[in-house]
Structures are given as structure tokens and as C-alpha cells.
Amino acid sequence: QVQLQESGPGLVKPSQTLSLTCNVSGASIGSDAYYWSWIRHHPGKALEWIGYIYYTGSAYYNPSLKSRVTISLDTSNNQFSLKVTSVTAADTAVYYCARVGYSKIDYWGQGTLVTVSS
């Protein structure tokens, strides 16, 4: 059974870097069949796709965030990570990692709330 689990600080200060890791079990992030994605949900707003990464390391980002976001792979630990630099209160959200295969987002982590506040 495929499972994803986010981990990382729940509180980040403004202007600092938000860093999250997604641990994947039941599937290999080295598979050529899937992309590994980050999505966030601001309270009361629509879900926002942040980006995804392929097993080759090629990453694709939402242009609205592209200058501040990096997604990377750690194949030895079957994990992938998200970094968002220069955060503001607008980056406060629930962050999900997810698997994308054949144009469908079929498995999600449980989500982790990240609050940006001093």
C-alpha cells in the first residue's frame, strides 16, 4: 500500500526558508511511472499546486512560486523535499505531498500545517 508522510517544522519565521520532507513507502520514487508533487491549501481558499519532480530530477513549478521553490529527490531514502524561500504570512497553509501518475493525483500525505509567524 502506497503511503506518503510529510515532516518538518510547523512554524517558520517571516523571510526564512520553509523546508518539508515527504517519506514514501509502498512505491519507489525512482519509478518512471510517477511524478512526486507538493500541493498546499490555504484556509478557505482553493488548493494550489506547487510543483512536481520526476525520477530523473526534472522539476516543474507553478510560475506563481517558481522563483522561491525547489523540489528535490533523495532516492537513497525514498524521500522528496520542498523548500520555499523568503516566506511571508501568505505561505501559511496545509502542505501536502502527493503522487501523480497518468495525469491523476492518486495518493496524498495526510498534510502538515505550516504557519509563518514571528
Q: Residue 113 forms beta bridges with which residues?
A: 94
Pick 103 or 118: Cβ nearer other proteins: 103
Closest CB 50 distance from other proteins, rounded Å: 9
Closest CB 52 distance from other proteins, rounded Å: 9
Cβ proximity of 62 and 49 under 8 Å: yes
Closest CB 59 distance from other proteins, rounded Å: 11
Which residues of the shown chain bind other proteins in the complex (CB under 8 A)?
Answer: 45-49, 51, 60-64, 96, 98, 100, 102-106, 108-111
Pick 16 or 49: Cβ nearer other proteins: 49
Beta strands in 1-118 (DSSP E): 3-7, 11-12, 18-25, 34-41, 47-54, 59-61, 69-74, 79-84, 93-101, 104-108, 112-116
Q: Are strands 11-12 and 112-116 parallel, antiparallel or unpaired?
A: parallel
Closest CB 10 distance from other proteins, rounded Å: 15
Pick 45 or 76: Cβ nearer other proteins: 45
For the record, the C-alpha cell of 107 comes out as 495518493
Pick 67 or 118: Cβ nearer other proteins: 67
Q: What is the distance between the alpha carbons of residues 80 and 52, in angstroms, rounded to a whole number? A: 10
